[in-house]
C-alpha cells in the first residue's frame, strides 16, 4: 500500500513562502496522479493543485493560481507544493494525495480519484 508523508509546514507571515514536500513509498508513483488538498477548521477539504504522472499537466484552484506551484520528481518519489505570497486565508492543514496506481497522464481535482492520503502538515499564515 502507498504511504505518503508531508513535511514543510509552519507558521509564517502574510507574503511569505513555504515549500511543502510529499514523500511517497510503497507504490508505483510514477504512473499515478498526485494532488494537494487543504482543510481549515470547520470547512470541507478542498482541492489545491494536481499534477499528472509525467508532470506535463498541472491544474490549480482559482484561489491559489499564480501563487502556488506543484511539481514532482519521480526519481525521488516526491511531490512538492511551492507556496508564494501566502495569505491568512491559506491557513489550513495541507494533505498530499495520490491515485496509487495507473491513472494515465491525467490530472484530477476530484477527491474521489485519490485512494491514498498523507497525514497532513499544518500551514498557518498570520496577517
Alpha-carbon gap, residue 90 to 38, rounded angstroms:
9
Tens-digit pLDDT profile for residues 41-73 = 999 999 999 999 999 999 999 999 999 999 999
The predicted pLDDT at position 107 comes to 95
pLDDT at 27: 76
DSSP 8-state class, residue 8: -
Written in H, E and C, the secondary structure of 27-82 is CCHHHCCEEEEEECCCCCCEEEEEECCCCCCEEECCCCCCCEEEEEEHHHCEEEEE
Is the distance from CB of 30 to CB of 100 less than 8 angstroms?
Answer: no
Which pLDDT value is given to residue 29? 81
| Secondary structure (3-state) at 88 | helix
Residues of the chain with pLDDT under 70: none
User: For residue 91, how far is the Cα from the chain centroid?
Assistant: 14
Cell 506535463 belongs to residue: 56
Nine-digit cell string for 113? 480519484
Find out whether 1 and 118 touch, Cβ atoms under 8 Å: no
Amino acid at each position: 500500500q502507498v504511504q505518503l508523508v508531508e513535511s514543510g509546514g509552519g507558521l509564517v507571515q502574510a507574503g511569505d513562502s513555504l515549500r511543502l514536500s510529499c514523500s511517497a513509498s510503497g507504490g508505483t508513483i510514477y504512473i499515478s496522479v498526485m494532488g494537494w488538498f487543504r482543510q481549515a477548521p470547520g470547512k470541507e477539504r478542498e482541492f489545491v493543485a494536481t499534477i499528472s504522472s509525467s508532470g506535463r499537466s498541472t491544474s490549480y484552484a482559482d484561489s491559489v493560481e499564480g501563487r502556488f506551484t506543484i511539481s514532482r520528481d519521480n526519481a525521488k518519489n516526491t511531490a512538492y507544493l511551492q507556496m508564494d505570497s501566502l495569505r491568512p486565508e491559506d491557513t489550513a492543514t495541507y494533505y498530499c494525495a495520490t491515485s496509487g496506481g495507473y491513472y494515465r497522464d491525467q490530472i484530477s481535482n476530484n477527491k474521489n480519484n485519490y485512494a491514498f492520503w498523507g497525514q497532513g502538515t499544518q500551514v498557518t499564515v498570520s496577517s
